């Protein structure tokens, strides 16, 4: 097994997916994986509500799947994660984060001290000496809840990723870069992503998901 393998978590309202995969690899390999039912009330927009039942389910699943790795990466899905595409001067990587923090009030009308700013470089235009970034503002309380879960499981957090970024990476590896679109439907929301020429031209979270579709169908049946 690769020395940089990690345990990847995607916690949903209904199910939680766990997989042991290579970390920071161009063609990551999946070594072990399992899925468990997420107990009611564990996940909401505020983060993860760590319960003894949930922790025991994960520990049991990891044992049964043969996962002994203690390095974890969480993929976070929440309506509280704000996203903006911004353009900044072309600077070295070490200067990007300080520049974003200095101009944060222009991007997000919130108290930035309560958030962590993360970014992905979309493109660099050397002729104009500028670069375009996709910037995410993630609440500290949201990140803290995942850290609490890691502590309860005895795992070391290597990284936390936003669900939308994971979708983008998957599309770049498996779909035409000229123009492609996906709709990822969750329990109570859907994420629309469109890429063109290898760049994200649209990524929006819509507050309608499988639960809403099922409810609409049930109401339609009752009316009929």
**pLDDT (mean) for 21-31:** 84
- With a cut of 80, say whether residue 33 has pLDDT above it: yes
Task: Convert the pLDDT of each residue in 186-213 to its tens digit.
Answer: 776 777 888 888 777 777 777 676 766 6
Using an 8 Å Cβ cutoff, are 157 and 168 in contact?
A: no
> What pLDDT does 165 receive?
74
- Residue 122: which of 87, 92, 89 has the closest Cα? 87
Which helix H or strand E contains 48, and what residues bound it? strand 47-48
| CB-CB neighbours of 23 under 10 Å | 17
The predicted model gives 107-115 an average pLDDT of: 87
pLDDT at 1 exceeding the cut of 50: no
pLDDT tens digit string along 81-109? 888 888 999 999 999 999 998 998 888 88
What pTM, to 2 d.p., does this model score? 0.79
- C-alpha span between 48 and 57 (Å, rounded): 15
Which position has the token pair 């600077």? 91
CA 81, 83, 86 angle in degrees (round to 5)?
Answer: 155
The DSSP symbol for 114 reads G
Lowest mean pLDDT among 55-64, 67-76, 173-182: 173-182
> Are the beta carbons of 194 and 203 closer than 8 angstroms?
yes
Among 25-29, 172-176, 207-211, the range scoring the smallest mean pLDDT is 207-211
Token pair belonging to 179: 């123009």
Q: Which residues contact 33 (CB under 8 A, 6 or more apart)?
A: 17, 18, 19, 20, 65
């Amino acid at each position: 097994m690769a020395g940089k393998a990690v345990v990847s978590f995607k916690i949903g309202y209904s199910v939680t997916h766990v997989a042991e995969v290579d970390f920071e690899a161009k063609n990551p390999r999946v070594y072990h994986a399992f899925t468990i039912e997420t107990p009611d009330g564990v996940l909401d927009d505020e983060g993860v509500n760590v319960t003894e039942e949930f922790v025991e389910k994960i520990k049991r699943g990891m044992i049964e799947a043969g996962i002994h790795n203690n390095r974890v990466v969480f993929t976070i899905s929440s309506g509280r994660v704000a996203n903006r595409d911004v353009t900044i001067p072309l600077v070295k990587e070490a200067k990007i984060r300080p520049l974003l923090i200095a101009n944060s009030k222009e991007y997000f009308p919130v108290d930035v001290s309560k958030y962590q700013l993360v970014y992905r470089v979309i493109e660099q235009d050397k002729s104009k000496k500028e670069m375009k970034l996709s910037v995410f503002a993630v609440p500290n309380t949201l990140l803290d809840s995942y850290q609490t879960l890691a502590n309860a499981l005895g795992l070391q957090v290597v990284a936390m990723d936003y669900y939308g970024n994971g979708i983008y990476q998957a599309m770049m590896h498996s779909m035409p870069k000229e123009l492609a679109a996906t709709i990822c439907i969750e329990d109570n929301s859907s994420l629309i992503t469109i890429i063109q020429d290898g760049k994200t031209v649209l990524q929006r979270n819509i507050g309608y998901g499988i639960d809403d579709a099922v409810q609409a169908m049930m109401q339609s049946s009752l009316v009929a």
